[in-house]
Structure 1
Amino acid sequence: MELVSPESWRSTLHKKQQQWIDRTLFTRSRLQSSQFITVLALVVNSFHPNCSHFFLNGTTPNITDILVGGRVQNQNRYKLICQKYKNSYRFATLYDTTNMIPVFSAYTFTGPPTDPRPDLPWMIEPQLNEVDNNPEMVVDHPFPHQAGNNDYKNSIDSNGVNRGHLFPNLHANDLETQESTFTLTNIVPQVVSFNGGSWKDMECKVRNTLKDNCKDANNNIKAYVVTGAAPSESNKLNNRVNIPDLLWTAYCCKINQGQWVARAHWGENQEEGKGKTLPSNTTAELYEMLNQHYPGGGVQVFPDQCSNSAAPHG
């Protein structure tokens, strides 16, 4: 056996260390140029226990053939994501890897933001690509199971859409939770005039309603919110990412008197004129509408105590 001298061994080690440093610097450069950072989300088999607190009584929505009794029906296509950012779970997402958009995101509203809208790169979830968290894999494109930043390149000119949050940053109470919403697993292609028009108007009104009316047993602001998108048949962005037919949202909370209240809103993802508003509906009306988009019926977003509750005042 050939002996290796200490000098030769140290030289080889130094070369390997330098190669690792060069590789790391190159990777960081590519990541910065791609305008992506990874988010420490977890693809899980169940929202329980890490993310169950984002759902009233820990009860997840039922959507026939997609999510029933908290169990994904097609685990190759649909993925449960506990959105973890800076060591805390921020919200939960059910993601459709075929359409490359979320089915819904669920979160608790605990008050309006205390900081301005953050400006940071869009994040992705590397686990959806069935790879480890190697950053070199993150910058490869196209991503086979999720939308990427390049999918939204020139999206306004080509399709008239931009990035639409399901969990909006203006419903996040602190800066880090605001930042966590800027992951493409929380985003759908949304028609620009709809995103900045009636949908934004509704988000602001709902925020104020929840802030003024929804309180837990300790008199702290708290409401459960689920926001989703119903996919289109074949309308796609960049020949990859489904452009949904409509967006919907629903909330449920207790008001000061301890009564459960719930309301729902939805709107078609299409061009609209200025001044359009979205009507407030019952959750029962929402379920009836969603059953038309998801064959088999049986859609239910919240437990029964939210099904027939009245709207809060204010």
Structure 2
Amino acid sequence: MLSLLLLQVLASCLWLGHSEVVTSFESSCPQFFFRKTPPNEALEPENPAWICQRYKNQYYFATLYDRSRRIPVYSAYLYQPAAGKRPNTWLVEPQLIGPTYPKTMEREWTLLNDFSISVEEIGKHQAVLQDYKNLTGLNRGHLNPSSHHPDSSSRTATFTLTNIVPQNEKLNGGSWNNYEQQTMIRNTQGCNNTYVVVGAVPGNNYIAKGRVNKPSYIWASACCEVNTSHRKTWAVIAENDRDEVELLTLGELEDTLTLLYGRSRVSLFDSGCPRI
């Protein structure tokens, strides 16, 4: 019986994705940031988790996560869109429960049944599926969207609740979707590599009886390498209760986030990315 249980656990680990809570992005998964430079400390929450999001033994993006508000601060990735099916599974992060748990994205069902972890333990420092049920006017909004990735594995990796915020459903399906699907295609014409950082500014409201923060703003930024000597940038921001996206320069977004966070000066990319 014990050997059968071990085989079941092993099979689930082999099938499911891998992600890892690390001490820094620079030392673990720097490839998702231009010149291996993540955003500076001005965005860091009081209780952060740095997650290198890995699936089927490959890293696909990086997420700075707020354990207390149970939402991502930002997700960073390389823009590589392609046609494909939208995944239909949702995953959570076992290492947000504790460092002794597997470095694997897992389904809640797997943690409940194969690892005997309670929903309360899973949800202590992260959102769970129940938090996003019975929402009114909001839905699960990806920071790193699955459509910006080239294959099934990379798209499935984005379907972790550590990459999700409560987003206004009209915005998510309207102007924000237009930005993700249309503006990004136009802006990346001629780009060899496009580095993207998408984030959420915490708000004053919560869902799920105070468990999960509803962001006040959703924002996105990109730095595109046209060639070794030429780069271009752009950015957007949207209030999370209106179906409207404002197009900004990178410098304007950093100015806005500096005011919204009220801390030190925000820097989202290495200085080699133009601010105007």
TM-score (norm 1): 0.76
Aligned-pair distance for 1:280? 1.9
CA distance in 2: counterparts of 1:65 and 1:271, whole angstroms: 23
**Which position in structure 2 is the counterpart of 1:129?**
97
Pair 1:115-2:84 in alignment: yes
- 1:144 is aligned to 124
Residues 256, 65 of structure 1: CA spacing in aligned structure 2 closer, same or farther, 3 A cutoff? closer
Residues 252 and 97 (structure 1), Cα distance of their counterparts in 2 relative to 1, 3 Å cut:
same
Structure 1 counterpart of 2:67, from 97, 120, 123: 97
The Cα RMSD (Å) is 2.6
Which residue in 1 is equivalent to 2:105? Answer: none
Aligned to 1:135, the other structure's residue is in SS state helix
Check 1:295–1:38 CA distance in 2 against 1; reply closer, same or farther (3 A cut): farther
Q: State which drifts further: 187-196 or 135-144.
A: 135-144
Q: How far is 1:38 from its partner?
A: 6.1
Would you say 1:64 and 2:42 are equivalent positions?
Answer: yes
Residue 187 of structure 1 pairs with residue 164 of structure 2: yes
Structure 1 equivalent of residue 49 of structure 2:
79
Out of 119, 124, 138, the position equivalent to 1:161 is 138
SS in 1 for 2:26: coil
**Which residue, 58, 64, 69 being the options, matches 1:88?**
58
In the alignment, which residue of structure 2 is the partner of 1:304?
271
Aligned residues: 261
CA distance in 2, matches of 1:249, 1:256: 22
Which is greater in Rg? 1
Gaps of 5+ in 2: 103-109
Contact kept in structure 1, 2:69 and 2:211, CA below 8 Å: yes
- Tell me the distance in 2 between the aligned counterparts of 1:207 and 1:138: 43
Q: TM (normalized to structure 2)?
A: 0.86
Distance (Å, rounded) in 1 between the aligned partners of 2:191 and 2:64:
25
What is the percentage of aligned positions where both structures have the same residue? 37
Q: How many Å apart are 1:303 and its aligned residue? A: 1.4
Runs of 4+ more than 3 Å apart: 19-25, 136-139, 234-238
Aligned 8 A contact 1:247 1:268 in 2: yes
Q: Partners of 2:65 and 2:59 in 1: how far apart?
A: 17
Q: Is the 8 A contact 1:64 1:298 kept in 2?
A: yes
Q: 1:290 aligns with which of 239, 246, 257?
A: 257
Question: In the alignment, which of 226, 234, 252 is matched to residue 197 of structure 2?
Answer: 226
Deviation at 1:153, TM superposition (A): 1.1
Which residue of structure 2 aligns with residue 254 of structure 1? 225
- CA–CA distance in 2 between the matches of 1:139 and 1:191? 32
Per the alignment, do residues 235 and 292 of structure 1 end up closer, same or farther by CA in structure 2, a change over 3 Å counting? farther
Matching residue's letter, 2:133: K
| Pairing 1:51–2:21 present | no
